[in-house]
Amino acid sequence: METLAMILAGGRGTRLDILSEKRVKPAVPFAGKYRIIDFTLSNCSNSGIDNICILTQYLPLSLNEHISTGKPWNLDHRDASVSLLQPHKAWYAGTADAVLQNIEFIKRKNPKYVLILSGDHIYKMDYRKMIRFHEENNSKLTIAVQPVPWEDAHRFGILTADKENKIYKFSEKPKKPDSNLASMGIYIFDTEVLLDAITTVQDDNLDFGKHIIPYLLEREDLYAYVFEDYWRDVGTYDSYLEANIELTATVDKIKLDMYDRDWKIHTKSEEMPSVKIGSKAEISQALISNGSIIAGKVVQSVISPGVIIHPTATVVNSVILNDTEIKAGAYVESTIIDKNVVVEENCIIGHGDDLSPNIANPEILSSGINAIASKVVIPKGTIITRNCRIFSTAVFTEKTIKPGSTLK
């Protein structure tokens, strides 16, 4: 086997809060009909890499059901394989520990290269080009990097490289970075180098960034593969909403082309009827998914499969997930709504200019976005202001939900 891809998909995604309450982060819906992990899986499929293992951990059921035999990504033929591997000794304690716990799987597959990927980023990348770069430079470990704004560099693992892209320094979230090349968490290892490193370095929380890269930097030739196309980490409410809304831009301004017939994004799709647009519907810059019925107004929003938006209802700058119903007279703005929610008549969600941060969790919700969990029924005439978190078990005792509230 030439290349084995190992996708890290066990992260809880705590900053996505409500969206990852009942599913792992890579299984969170994105761009209407997709899941976040679909982009990584499609990159593998389109790159001709058809031996894949997915390292799961936290709430794996939704992800397991989505991937199943891997048929949408053409991973169900005789020479391909997709394996979902959960911890069998103890909870994965770090990114490299997850690989270490599955070392026998790697040995049995016996690939020439191991491609380590994250299952929770949005991007399109031909991994064959990176593998070719790895071979041409006789690299032992190649790390995909992306130039980031200097003011953001302190948030990433930063690599410093020479003119030939040979890495000579690595800093994990440096206070004063001397480079803006941020690690994307995409690694190509010569297999024997990977196996030696993860079995030699000892740490209870074995991590690629903190332990494996520094260890190899002192012993082997490591190279940086510069990737300058679209790449997004959608691990917060703000980045999730922003990345979704970016996809509603006009064709000449869109940053991620999902309509490229030569690089399709594959997914497991439900059998649903075509979109139905009512006679008085108004739609502007939106993604509308199969099975939806739009009779109201939708502006700069992403509408997932099976959503119903009634006449005189309005949705603006929002992401509405599967089978949610927005009833007549309701107004929804700057809100992420999970599956199977009912917004009753004349509700207002996203009201007022008070941007007081969420009281219970100000770090994740402070820009005015609201987040509503699955299966919530919002009573008729309810007003939800800004930075509110509404969980599935919420009980509504007041008509107006104050800024920064959390209902559980």
Domain definitions of the chain by residue range: 3-244, 271-408
pLDDT tens digits, 222-268: 999 999 999 999 999 999 999 999 999 988 888 999 999 999 999 99
What is the DSSP-derived secondary structure letter of residue 14? Answer: G
Q: What is the largest CA-CA distance in the chain?
A: 68
**DSSP one-letter code for 263:** S
CB < 8 Å & 24+ apart, contacts of 238-241: 238/367, 238/369, 240/16, 240/19, 240/28, 240/30, 240/319, 240/336, 241/317, 241/318, 241/319, 241/334, 241/336, 241/369
pLDDT beyond 80 at 171: yes
Query: Tell me, what amino acid is at 147?
Result: P
Query: In the predicted model, what is the mean pLDDT of residues 204-208?
Result: 95
Task: List the alpha helices (DSSP H) in 77-175.
Answer: 95-100, 103-109, 127-136
| CATH number belonging to the domain at 271-408, selected among 2.160.10.10, 1.20.1260.10, 3.30.565.10, 3.40.630.10 | 2.160.10.10
Please report, in angstroms and rounded to a whole number, the separation of the first and last CA atoms in the chain.
50
Q: Which fold has domain 3-244?
A: Spore Coat Polysaccharide Biosynthesis Protein SpsA; Chain A (3.90.550)
pLDDT at 194: 98
pLDDT score of 270? 86
pLDDT at 356: 97
pLDDT of residue 90: 85
User: Which of 169-183, 370-384, 389-403 is the least confident region?
Assistant: 169-183
Q: What is the mean pLDDT of residues 24-43?
A: 96
